[in-house]
Amino acid sequence: MATEFDYDLFVIGAGSGGVRAARMAASKGKKVAVAEDRYLGGTCVNVGCVPKKLFVYASQFSELFHASKGFGWSLTEQPSFDWPSLRDNKTREIERLNGIYNNLIENSGADLFDGRATVAGPHRVTVNGTTYSAKTILVATGGWPYIPEFPGSEHALSSNEMFSLEQLPKTAVVVGGGYIAVEFAGILNGLGVETHLVYRGPNLLKSFDREMSDKVTEGMAAKGVNIHLNTEINEIIKTDKGLSVVLQDMSLIDSGLVLYATGRQANTANLGLQNTAVVLRDNGSIVVDDNFCSAEPCIYALGDVIDRVQLTPVAIQEAMVLVDHLYGDNSATIDYSDIPTAVFCQPELGTVGLSEEQARAEFTDIAVFTSDFKPMLQTLGGGADRITMKLVVDTQTDRVVGCHMVGEHAAEIIQGLGIALKAGATKAHFDATVGIHPSAAEEFVTMRTQVR
Ligand code: NDP
């Protein structure tokens, strides 16, 4: 006789991936439970993509107010910024989204547990003092900011705390050269904070196309971010006035806040996985196969906790593939190549496909097309922003293998080009496409001069 389980699927973690898997499984008639001990919607909704983007919008007004003058507007008084208003309005919006997530889970028919779940063993999950049996357990617990230990590191904040600061400081130091560091440097700078970005390497956003990441660095510096490359922080000292940050060359920066955006680690500590055969990497992430199955056959994992691609839409797609594998016809797959992505730094960076460096390594002969121009807003608005675009083409097949853009609306524009790359578009297809005039995006279909 088949064993009766309390649940077909027990999902630990109600972030983007976990909730999608739970809802899809429930919609297929499965008995599903979801446990979450922090906030519904996970990192993305609460301390990631969503509040970050709201802060990015807020930080762009300073330049827009300035640009409006050239278009005939006069501001009757000097605009001023109130941090608590932004913070609290943001929190209300997040609470609204938390409510939507709650309804999505409840309306799907899944049981929602408000508590920390641990794995008691294969097929067993304990939450709020009760142990439930489940045919399948899904670990979708995401990641958590990592801050290295060094003298004074207890004074450093992670991105989590940036969303609920009591006050905005006059000066801030941001450490790191990845997505979160450059995004927060732009936000703080735009909100009027004197911002220092400290990165240990020679190039910010080092995994992106070099020409494009250089443009971001130049653009950020032009907007007023103080960029310190090839250096690290030796120590953070608490003083009467705030914090004193000691750099490697012993120079000091007095700062009201130090944000460490030095990566994120999988949330697997104290989860009870030692009671199972699940294998973890040194960084705590869970090793899974192509079907997201761990070394323990009844335990699956997806999203940031498996440390493949730490992006919300990827976790959601992984969830769809997993549910199809478990309860569908097992035909869905995920392709990790050509994932469009954007960094909401200022200037914004959008990209899909291979960087010029990657394409050179992969193909014998490539053609590179670029365009660099002043956005139309600046003609009357008077700012110093530029837009740079780049197409990387495999000359043997004429296929466009990389599209990159730095400048306003890069994320919006690159999303569409992601479809073109997935469809295998050639440079001839780009050239045969009629532009939308006047737009920045039309440059992508009018680039005729090969620069390299
Ligand atoms: P990243 O991995 O992108 O960057 C981490 C940075 O911290 C790197 O520059 C790294 O330097 C540096 N670093 C690591 N350890 C240390 C250390 N001990 N001392 C000094 N510097 C250190 O991580 P993030 O935290 O920025 O973001 C995490 C992930 O979240 C991203 O990879 C991305 O997938 C996702 N994300 C996506 C966003 C989006 O889609 N717009 C926005 C924000 C996050 P080095 O390069 O030298 O190793």
Atom of ligand 1 nearest to the CA of 309: 34
Return the CATH superfamily for domain 7-145+265-327: FAD/NAD(P)-binding domain (3.50.50.60)
The minimum-distance atom of ligand 1 relative to the CA of 310 is 34
Helix/strand/coil for 452 = coil
* Distance between Cα 354 and ligand 1 center (Å): 19
Assess contact for 262 and 176: CB atoms under 8 A: yes
Identity at 421, one-letter amino acid code: L
Query: 331-355: per-residue pLDDT in tens?
Result: 999 999 999 999 999 999 999 999 9
Q: Calculate how far, in angstroms, residue 35's C-alpha sits from the geometric centre of ligand 1.
A: 28
Sort strands 257-260 and 264-266 into parallel, antiparallel or unpaired. unpaired
Distance 184 CA to ligand 1 centre (A): 12
Tell which residue, 12, 37, 304, has the closest CA to residue 139.
12
Q: Is any atom of ligand 1 closer than 6 Å to the C-beta of 176? A: yes
| 264 CB within 6 A, ligand 1 | yes
Between CA 288 and CA 303 the distance in angstroms is 11
Residue 148 predicted with pLDDT over 50: yes
Residues 389-415 have a mean pLDDT of 98
The share of the chain scoring above pLDDT 90, in percent, equals 99
- Ligand 1: residue of 16, 157, 180, 205 to mutate (most ligand atoms within 8 A of CB) is 180
Q: What is the pLDDT of residues 190-235, one digit of tens each?
A: 999 999 999 999 999 999 999 999 999 999 999 999 999 999 999 9
Residue 108 has pLDDT above 90, yes or no: yes
Tell me the average pLDDT of the chain. 97
> Is 437 among the catalytic positions?
yes
The catalytic residue among 66, 325, 404, 437 is: 437
Q: What is the pLDDT of residue 1?
A: 47
* Global pTM value: 0.97
Instruction: State the sign of the Cα–Cα–Cα–Cα dihedral 254, 258, 263, 268.
Output: positive
pLDDT class of 43 with cuts at 50, 70, 90: very high
**Pocket flag, ligand 1, residue 178 (CB < 6 Å):** yes
Question: Residue 3: pLDDT above 90?
Answer: no
Cα distance between the two ends of the chain: 68
The CA angle 168-170-172, to the nearest 5 degrees, is 80
Q: Which among 153, 179, 336, 349 is the best mutation to test ligand 1's pocket, defined by most ligand atoms within 8 Å of the CB?
A: 179
Q: Cα of 317 to ligand 1 centre, how many Å?
A: 22
Cα 110 from Cα 12, distance rounded (Å): 13
CA 422–ligand 1 middle distance (angstroms)? 27
Instruction: Using the mean position of ligand 1's atoms as its centre, give its distance from the Cα of residue 372 in Å.
Output: 28
Looking at domain 341-445, its CATH superfamily turns out to be FAD/NAD-linked reductase, C-terminal dimerisation domain (3.30.390.30)
Is the N-terminal amide bond of 438 cis, ω within 30° of 0? yes
The best mutation among 310, 344, 351 to test binding of ligand 1, ranked by most ligand atoms within 8 Å of the C-beta, falls on 310
Q: Under CATH, what is the fold of the domain 153-262?
A: FAD/NAD(P)-binding domain (3.50.50)
- Tell me the pLDDT tens digit for each residue of 250-264: 999 999 999 999 999
Q: Is 261 in the pocket of ligand 1 (CB under 6 A)?
A: yes
Closest CA to 115 of 34, 231, 180, 233: 34
Task: Please tell me the number of Cα atoms within 13 Å of 449 on its side-chain side.
Answer: 4
- Same fold: 7-145+265-327 with 153-262: yes
| Ligand 1 binding pocket mutation candidate from 200, 234, 318 (most atoms within 8 A of CB) | 200
Q: Where are the domains of the chain?
A: 7-145+265-327, 153-262, 341-445
The residue behind tokens 């007023």 is 224
What does the pLDDT average to over 139-168? Answer: 98
- Any ligand 1 atom below 6 A from CB of 344: yes
Q: Is the CB of 206 under 6 A from ligand 1?
A: yes
Give pLDDT tens digits for 65-74: 999 999 999 9
User: Is residue 59 lining ligand 1, measured as CB closer than 6 Å?
Assistant: no
Closest ligand 1 atom, residue 201 Cα = 47
d(CA 340, CA 402): 10
Ligand 1: centre distance to CA 178 (Å): 4
Does ligand 1 lie within 6 Å of residue 150's CB atom? no
Q: What is the DSSP letter of 92?
A: H
CA of 174 to the centre of ligand 1 (A): 12
Distance between CA atoms of 100 and 144, rounded to whole angstroms?
Answer: 23
- Residue 200 near ligand 1, beta carbon < 6 Å: yes
Does 44 sit in the ligand 1 pocket, CB within 6 Å? Answer: no
Protein residue with its CA nearest to atom 18 in ligand 1: 148
Ligand 1 atom at minimum distance from 204 CA? 9
3-state secondary structure 312-371: HHHHHHHHHHHHHHHHCCCCCCCCCCCCCEEECCCCCEEEEECCHHHHHHHCCCEEEEEE
| Rounded CA separation 57/317 (Å) | 27
Residues sharing a CB contact under 8 Å with residue 389, sequence separation 6 or more, in sequence order: 370, 371, 372, 403, 404, 405, 407, 440, 443, 444, 447
Q: β-strands 130-139, 299-301: how paired?
A: parallel
- Cα of 93 vs centre of ligand 1, distance in Å, is 26
Ligand 1, atom 14, lies closest to the CA of 262
Confidence of residue 2 (pLDDT cuts 50, 70, 90): low
Alpha-carbon torsion 74, 76, 82, 86, what sign?
A: negative
Nearest CA to ligand 1 atom 25: 263
**What is the DSSP-derived secondary structure letter of residue 237?**
E
